[in-house]
Amino acid sequence: MLHACNKDVTLPDEAAKGQISFYFASTALTNGAEVRGSKGYLVLIDSRDSSYRPPKDIFSSIYPFLYNPSQRSTTYPQTKTSWIQFMALDAGQHQLSLKDTSSRLLDSVKFTLDADKPAIVFYGDSIGNYSHIIAADPFVADTGKIGIRIINLSPFTGPVYMTLNKVVPPGLPAYTQYMDHTGFLPMALSTPQTFNIKVYRYGDDKNFLTRGTLEAIPGHAYTLIISGYSDNNPGSYKDPLTGANVSLSNNFSLAVIKTF
């Protein structure tokens, strides 16, 4: 006769999960991913396996990946909605390694992901020198307000400022420059509203550099990303990795992403 063993079993604690997303705002990355024969750009997470290539359905890639940006989003996870999406990742310290199509290391960083602070990694570059901003800003929803965050990844342009429906709202910075990153700045809003956004050089209120549209809903948060080169760019540069001469054009732009 068999007797059941009544014994308490202690299961191991599950690792707390955080949330992370990626945004590729680098001109060198987006241009390089469009070159014929490009295999795309890969962000390895706690790994050195740079031979990895995602399946044709990039939505199921296990690593953040930039490929064919003119036909796909420059975000990862790839999103089929207008809202940013996040991937689950164990909370704690991680190593991110950005690799190019030849598996050369472009950017590397160690960071700590908190379970209660969703993070977005923004990649930029200045004449082939790569950089990143890791934004994990707290946002508390308020039905009478929205949150606006500004990420500036436009080199050589100098200080710029924004108007929303022709005014600079209270609380927005007087200007931002390359690699500046604000938190979510609260702005009063009681009903849904569409804002026409224009970006100007600091000190110029006549000639805007680019424009965009924000369809805002109270209680939500939005990120405004300034990127690309204005007409202040040097025209060309020698790629620091390959030595190739790279031409630059005016591709200054503003992207509006619905974040929370």
pLDDT at 37: 77
Among the three residues 71, 104, 136, which one is the final residue of a domain in this structure?
A: 136
- pLDDT of 131 higher than 80: yes
Spatial CA neighbour of 253 closest among 124, 148, 108, 81: 124
Pair 151, 252 in one domain: yes
165 belongs to a structural domain:
yes
Q: In whole angstroms, what separates CA 222 from the centre of its chain? A: 12
Give me the amino acid identity at 215: E
- pLDDT of 10 higher than 90: no
pLDDT at 196: 98
Among 64-68, 199-203, 234-238, the range scoring the smallest mean pLDDT is 64-68
pLDDT at 88: 93
116 belongs to a structural domain:
yes
Burial letters for 196-216: b for 16+ Cβ neighbours within 10 Å, e otherwise?
Answer: ebbbbbeeeeeebbbebebeb
Task: Calculate mean pLDDT across residues 16-31.
Answer: 94
Continuous H helices in 200-260: none
Angle (nearest 5°) at CA 153 between 204 and 251? 70
What average pLDDT does the chain have? 90
Full domain range(s) for residue 31 = 16-136
Pair 241, 165 in one domain: yes
Instruction: Tell the burial category of 193 from Cβ atoms under 10 Å away from its Cβ (0-12, 13-18, 19+).
Output: middle
Task: Give bridge partners of residue 94 from the DSSP assignment.
Answer: 111
Residue 77 is part of a domain; what is its CATH number?
2.60.40
Among the three residues 106, 136, 166, which one is the final residue of a domain in this structure?
A: 136
Among the three residues 75, 101, 136, which one is the final residue of a domain in this structure?
A: 136
pLDDT tens-digit readout, 159-173: 999 999 999 999 999
- pLDDT of 1 higher than 50: no
Residue 219 is part of a domain; what is its CATH number?
2.60.40.1120
pLDDT at 2: 46
Question: How many folded domains does the chain comprise?
Answer: 2
pTM: 0.90
32 belongs to a structural domain:
yes
pLDDT at 35: 82
Query: What is the rounded end-to-end Cα distance, in angstroms, of the chain?
Result: 60
Spatial CA neighbour of 186 closest among 168, 174, 172, 165: 172
191 belongs to a structural domain:
yes
CB 159 within 8 A of CB 180: no
Task: Calculate mean pLDDT across residues 93-98.
Answer: 96
Pair 94, 175 in one domain: no
Q: Measured between alpha carbons, how far is 18 from 79 in angstroms, rounded to an integer?
A: 18
Q: How far is CA 10 from CA 5, 15, 17, in A?
A: 15, 15, 21
Task: Calculate mean pLDDT across residues 225-233.
Answer: 95
pLDDT tens-digit readout, 102-121: 889 999 999 999 999 999 99
215 belongs to a structural domain:
yes
